[in-house]
Amino acid sequence: MQEWIAILFVASGLVYGLWSRRMQKFNISSPMMMVLAGAIVAVPLGLWAQAPLEPLKDNFHFARVFSELTLAIILFLDAAILDYRKERPALRLATRLLVVGLPLTILVTWVAAYYGIAPGIDIVPALLISLMVSPTDAALSRPVLENGHISSPVRQGINIESGLNDGLVLPVFTTALAIETALSGQNTNGWISEAILEILLGAGVGVASGVILGVLINHAVARNLMIDRFERLFGVLSALLIFLLAEKAGGNGFVAAFAGGLALNVASSKVTDVIESFGEAEAELLTMLTFFVFGLLILPSVYELWTAEMTLFAILSLLVLRPACVWICMIGSPYNLAEKLFIGWFGPRGIASIIYLLIMVTLLGISGYESLIACVALIVTISVIAHGISATPLSNALARYTKKKRPA
C-alpha cells in the first residue's frame, strides 16, 4: 500500500505542476490541491470507511517520522535565512506581531478553547490547542509575499512572523506537553526538571552547532570551497545534524534546530545566500508532502468527530481572535486600516499546526484527546481553503487600495 501512496503523491504533484499557473488563476493553491489529493487517495484505500482515528493509528509511525524531520528542517531554515540586517520597518512590524500579538493570541485562544470547544475540556489541553493553532504558515501566504505592489514592510513582516512564531511557541508547547504527560499519569517523576533540561540541552547543542557551522560557512565561502549543488544541501543537512545531535544528547531536537538556525544566522554574514540555495522547489516538496499526509491520514480520521461547537471555535479563531489581537498590537503603528485588516486576516494555519498535532499524539497518544485532534484538524482545513482562496484576490485588492492612497 505504501508504494501506491508514494506513486499517487508524486502523480498528484505532477498534475498540479503541469497546470499550476492556470490553477492559481482560479485561486487553487498547492496546499489545497494536495489536501484534496490525499483525501481522494484515501477513498480506494478504505480510510474514509474506518472508525474515527483508525487511519491515523494504523499509519502513525510513518506520519511521525516524516513530521519530525520536516519540522526540524523548517524550524532551522526559517531561523537561518531571516535577514535581520535589512528591512527595519518589516522587522519592527514583525516584533509587534511576535512580542505582543502572538502571546495575546495564545491567551485569548486558550480561554476560548477552554470555554467553547468541548464539554469538560481541561485547562492544559485547552492550552495545547491554543499553542498548536497560533503559529502561522508562510506556505499559504505565498501570493501575498510575491505581490510586489504590496508594501515591502507588510509582505516581509508577515514573512518574518510566520518564519519565527512556530519556533518561539515550541518551548512553551514542549512544557505544556510535559505538564499534561505528568497530569495524565504517564510520567510523574521529575517532569519539570526533565522538561527544562531538554529545552536547555537542546538550545545549548543548537547554539554551539550553529556557531561552529557559521564559522565553517564563512571559511568555505571566503575561499570558494563549495560547489553549487552542495550549497543546496547545506541547509537541510545542517538541520538534520543538529536535530539528531540534540536528541542523542537527551535534549529537545526541535528547540536545537531553531536555536541552531538563529545562531548560524548571527555567526555568519554569508548564511542567507548559502541556505537560500536550498531552493523553493525543495521547500515546496516538503509543503506538498505535509498537506498530502494531512488529507490522506488525518482528515479521514477526524471528520466524524467535528461538532457545531468546534466549527464555531474554528471560525472565531480565524476571523475574530487573531485579527483582534493583531489590531491591538498595531496600535500606534504607521499602517492604514486596510493593511491592519489584511495582516490580521493573513495568519493561516498549516504545517506547524499539523506537525505539532502529530508530536502531541506521539507523546500523549490518541485516547482522551480525540476532541483536540479533531479541532486542530478542522481549523487547518478551514484555513487551507479560506486563505488559499482569498490570498490572491485580497492581495490584489490591498495593492489597488494602496496605489490609490499613494500620493501622486
Taking only the tens place, the pLDDT of each residue in 231-287 is: 667 788 888 899 999 989 888 888 899 999 889 888 876 666 666 655 556 667 888
CA distance 345 to 78: 21
Residue 386 has a pLDDT of 92
Count the Cβ atoms, other than its own, within 10 Å of residue 393. Answer: 11
CA atoms within 13 A on the CB side of 192: 0
* Banded model confidence at residue 204, pLDDT cuts 50, 70, 90: very high
- Percentage of the chain beyond pLDDT 90 is 30
Q: What is the mean pLDDT of residues 373-401?
A: 90
Q: List Cβ neighbours of 295 (8 Å cut-off, separation of 6 or more).
A: 34, 35, 36, 37, 38, 39, 40, 41, 42
Q: Look up residue 37 and give its amino acid.
A: A
Residue 389: which H helix or E strand, with range? Answer: helix 370-405
Render pLDDT for 309-325 as a digit per residue (tens, 0 to 9).
899 999 999 999 999 99
- Domains along the sequence of the chain with CATH: 63-133+160-405 (1.20.1530.20)
Q: List Cβ neighbours of 81 (8 Å cut-off, separation of 6 or more).
A: 163, 265, 271, 272, 275, 276
Q: Is the pLDDT assigned to residue 353 strictly greater than 60? A: yes
Q: Which of 298, 320, 300 minimizes the C-alpha distance to 116?
A: 320
Q: What is the mean pLDDT of residues 387-403?
A: 85
Q: What angle do CA 128, 289, 389 make, to 5 degrees?
A: 75
Q: List Cβ neighbours of 56 (8 Å cut-off, separation of 6 or more).
A: 63, 297, 298, 301, 361, 366, 373
Residue 184 has a pLDDT of 74
3-state secondary structure at position 223: coil
Question: What sign has the CA pseudo-torsion 29, 30, 33, 35?
Answer: negative
216 CB-contact burial (10 Å; exposed 0-12 / middle 13-18 / buried 19+): middle
282 versus 42: the higher-pLDDT residue is 42
CA distance 215 to 226: 14
Rg (CA), the chain: 21
For every residue of 224-262, DSSP letters joined together read: T---HHHHHHHHHHHHHHHHHHHHHTTS-HHHHHHHHHH
Looking up cell 501575498 gives 144
Residue 319 has a pLDDT of 93
Render pLDDT for 100-145 as a digit per residue (tens, 0 to 9).
999 999 999 999 998 876 656 889 999 999 999 999 887 676 777 7
Q: What is the mean pLDDT of residues 349-366?
A: 87
Listed range (23-27, 145-149, 188-192, 380-384) with the worst mean pLDDT: 188-192
Looking up cell 498535532 gives 357
Residue 84 has a pLDDT of 63
Q: Is the pLDDT assigned to residue 408 strictly greater than 50? A: no
Q: Is the pLDDT assigned to residue 389 strictly greater than 70? A: yes
Distances (CA, A) of 225 to 35, 163, 230, 266: 41, 29, 10, 21
- Percentage of the chain beyond pLDDT 70 is 89
Q: Is the pLDDT assigned to residue 189 strictly greater than 80? A: no
Distances (CA, A) of 375 to 232, 290, 293, 380, 384: 37, 18, 17, 9, 14
Q: Is the pLDDT assigned to residue 1 strictly greater than 70? A: no
Q: What angle do CA 385, 344, 331 make, to 5 degrees?
A: 175
Q: Which of 19, 94, 22, 28 minimizes the C-alpha distance to 392?
A: 28
Residue 11 has a pLDDT of 85
Q: Is the pLDDT assigned to residue 153 strictly greater than 90? A: no
